Amino acid sequence: MKLISRLVAGFCLFLFACDEENGPQPIAFPQDPPDLGFSDAGTPDEVARLCQPGSRRCVDETSPFYEVCGPNGAYFDLEACEPGQICRDRRCVDFACRASESICLGTRSVATCAADGRSYENESECPNDSVCRAGTCVDLCANAENEGSYIGCEYTATRLFNLSEEDYAFAIVVGNPNRFLPLSVSLSSANQEILLAQGTPKTSEIIDESGATLPIESVENVVVPPRNMAVFVLDIRNNTPIKIKSTRPVIAAQFNPYCCNQNYSNDASLLFPDYTLGTRYRLTNYPAFGELPPEAIVIAQDSDTTLSWRDLGNTYSQSIDANASFTIRSVTPDISGIELNSSHPISVFSSHPCTFIPDQLWACDHLESQLLPADSLGSQYILSPMRIRSDDPEDTTEGIYWWLTADEDVQVSFDPPLSSLDVRTSSSTQRRLCRVRGGSLTLEAGESCEIGLYEPTSLSASGRLSVAGFLSGQESTGKQFFGTQAGDPAMFLLPPIDRLRTDYSFISPPTYAVNYITVAAPANAVFLLDGEQLKPESMLQTQSVQVNSQRWKIFTVRISAGVHRIESAQPFQLLVYAYDDYVSYAYVGGLDLGPKQ
């Protein structure tokens, strides 16, 4: 009974956390606008099961707790085995082991099964921050790298040029997605001492699941408890590379600035782990706004990194050292389509100081996004709208202005075809509209074009291309008054369909008026959001679209601030964003970044 009592004591420490993780059921907020006649994405009879009713899964190896699938196959309940039993292979069994076998004691300790097969000996804690799995101590950071996860342990961030006043500080926000284990995060820079900004609303803090906060007083070895979020509000120069290191996998994003609608120029970037960086990129951005040019900020990971690119027929090169940055601008109003090559892996950020979208419609807003390497691009995408902000989008220019940039010569088709959709006029005099002829769009490598939509469509191409979304500004919605919280321009990149996941952990800060996620998924998919079944009444603005001859549903959910997890049995797409008065941010919720089979 020594082992059983030890395990029960250990896992009882987690039981309350398990209950907290499930959280309150998301609900539809009454102040959200009506769904504007968009079609339903499916009926309850068409819904697939997340799990087989009555089936079990163990919370952890040798745990006395397990989860059982609910009667409708749409959620899991936490249950306990009988006293003296543990969960193994999805069922409760009397503890037994093979003599001399290596076993796990919860998540952090490993031991050897004793000769009697009913007890253990030689207990030891896993070294450093590794965890025990299948009787072996495992490095979670190495695991994440091997899997190509977007949730890793080392990242590169940088503050990008923004017209906002210096009083509104840049922030790095990290979230601990683990249900049970804390992690430790440190920030560093080879070029400048990193200082925490001081004063409201520049507070660096830990935010727990209830919204309670604890001040952060350092950028070194900051402990982030399970399902908590750490906000580092920084006093740092533009384009200064910042290294983020965590002892266990962590979600990371940068917000420029972090707070709030008082500066009227915001955006954010989901950060990608350093092991996912590449040596070839296809640049994409928004055209110059007056004297404000688009930029690509390049950060080297290794010494003697050589960059090369072509612009208007001319070839350029530049050498930069490790942890140094370099800014690329074009001799034309736009850098989109430039092919950037490097001798070693690099981080590349697309950045714009401020622009209107569309032209002449307020307000000017900062844009940014970390770019994916060219080998992470794909040929199939789902162009899903965000939460509609206007009373009737047909009477406005509201929408997402999609920017397609070919990485190779491609033919592109759409479903439904663009001819059946309300396509907006060009958002900028410096942007070319996508022209479909003979049922398809033709783009040469490095060529770009725009499609402005408030309706969904999917695209399929004969080769690789990138798809960037640019959210229209508040005035485009017809809501020009303060208090309407109709957002402003923001930039994000879509993931290719073959890089979608069945689960995402993501973060949403508490500094915006309304936070949303938009999901695109097979029509019969069901979801758990923070451990609770996502019910139809929580799914706002449901629409449908054909993807590879299969019907997919697209819907929006209003969420609270914090660290969240959403999962389904089938791969789906996730966008994360927020609106406030004349500000927004947007980024993709995640994607698989490992090599494709």
Note whether 322 and 310 are within 8 A (CB): no
Rounded to whole angstroms, how far apart are CA atoms 302 and 146?
Answer: 21
Report the predicted TM-score, pTM, of the whole model to 2 decimal places: 0.87
**Residue 493 pairs with which residues in a beta bridge?**
468
Rounded to whole angstroms, how far apart are CA atoms 515 and 474?
Answer: 16
Torsion angle in degrees (nearest 10) through CA of 386, 591, 506, 18:
130
As given in the structure block, the two tokens for residue 282 are 């296809």
Q: Which residues contact 138 (CB under 8 A, 6 or more apart)?
A: 126, 130, 131, 132
Question: For residue 142, which amino acid is it?
Answer: A
Q: Which residues of the chain, if any, have pLDDT below 70? A: 1-48, 61-62, 164-167, 199-202, 260-263, 596-597
For the CA atoms of the chain, what is the radius of gyration? 25
pLDDT at residue number 61: 65
Rounded to whole angstroms, how far apart are CA atoms 96 and 327?
Answer: 61
pLDDT at residue number 119: 86
Length of the chain: 597
pLDDT at residue number 65: 84
Rounded to whole angstroms, how far apart are CA atoms 390 and 46?
Answer: 31
Note whether 364 and 357 are within 8 A (CB): no
